Homo-oligomer: A and B are copies of this chain.
Amino acid sequence: MEKSLQELAEQIDATVEGNATVRVVGMATIETAGPTEVTFVANRRYLKHLETTRAGAVILGPGVVCDRLPVLRCADPYLGFAKALRLFHPWVHRATGISPQAGVHPDAQIGAEPSLMAGCHVAAGARIGDRVTLSPGVYVGEGSVIGDDSFLYPNVVVREGVTLGKRCIIQPGAVIGGDGFGYAQDVTGALKIPQIGGVRIGDDVEIGCNTTIDRGALGDTVIGDRVKIDNLVQIAHNVRIGDHTIITAMVGIAGSTEIGVGVAVGGHTAIAGHIHIGDGVSIAAMSGVPGNLDAGKVYAGIPAQEHREWRRVIGTVPRLPAMRKEIAELRKELDALSESLRSKLSDK
């Protein structure tokens, strides 16, 4: 797929500075790109490579000077890079049909142009939309629904009673619809509470490798449209996640918590159960969130505080030993001063 810089610029909302007739065939990093490849700089730390890159062109944001090679200038160079890469690597559905080694129950419904590969399993009553790919080792349980144009990578498990929207991408090993972790304390020990809810997942959702999303106890666990979830994330029963929210790897969200629209959660963060995270909240990596968070604010820390306050606190932490020493000295000097005064004043 060869393009002139002019063609490419038009497709990614950029303008060409330099020779717009240069032809390119793909994209590469600034250190490895060759003369028929386009690269980009979206992070200041890579600017230095502009002087040595062998790329055929570079996507740059406003104000970044570069005379050595043609520039594709656009408002957001990272978005320009994303659009260009999608042009060179478009998502194409390859309909391979239903493999004779796929285990499809006769009562399952399969849509048009399927790719149901050897070693996938579809249970009774499941409904698979059009142009869906079920890779080897994928399991879709009874009555579950997979929306049109969704792609399930190998060994994904979708248990019964789960609804997945359109154009979803589920990375390998993810588990959707496992039982929530619910027990009541009986005289003989923990009594399992049947988890009879399901999971409802919106359109254009991506779920990372080996991530786990539990089914609801009563009622469903709900993931909104365009939500993106990274690898090894745990989402407990009856959690509700608003549209456009982004959850980075190794985050855990405990039961019945509600996450707003457009929230961003940094990696390795733990969020307590039965709380509410407002729309547009940002939470830094490795935070611990014990209670509600207000919409639109930025939080960090264990326990999570507003980011500005947390920065002041965390800046103090390395000074704790010095603070402790200073307190001890103040005590000593104050006692000495008191004592000396008492004796001096009592002299009179």
Out of B81, B139, B316, name the residue touching A155 (CB < 8 Å).
Answer: B139
Residues of B within 8 A of A327 (CB): 323, 326-327, 330
Out of B79, B243, B302, name the residue touching A186 (CB < 8 Å).
Answer: B79
Q: Is the CB of A231 within 8 A of B234?
A: yes
Residues of B within 8 A of A345 (CB): 344
Q: Does A172 contact B (CB under 8 A)?
A: yes
Q: Does A21 contact B (CB under 8 A)?
A: no
A269–B71 alpha-carbon span in the complex (Å): 40
| Smallest CB gap from A105: residue in B | B118
Q: Does A324 contact B (CB under 8 A)?
A: yes
Could you tell me which A residues sit within 8 Å of B by CB distance? 27-29, 32, 43, 45, 76, 78-79, 81-83, 85-86, 89, 91, 101, 103, 117-119, 121, 135-137, 139, 153-155, 157, 159, 169, 171-173, 175, 178-179, 181, 183-186, 189-194, 196, 204, 206, 208-210, 212, 214, 218-219, 226, 228, 230-232, 234, 236, 243-244, 246, 248-250, 252, 254, 267-268, 270, 272, 274, 285-286, 288, 302-303, 305, 309, 312-321, 323-324, 326-327, 330-331, 333-334, 337-338, 341, 344-345
Known: A121-B137, A171-B179. 15 other contacts (CB 8 A): A28-B218, A43-B274, A82-B184, A83-B184, A85-B218, A103-B119, A153-B159, A178-B231, A181-B230, A210-B210, A232-B252, A250-B270, A302-B302, A317-B320, A323-B323
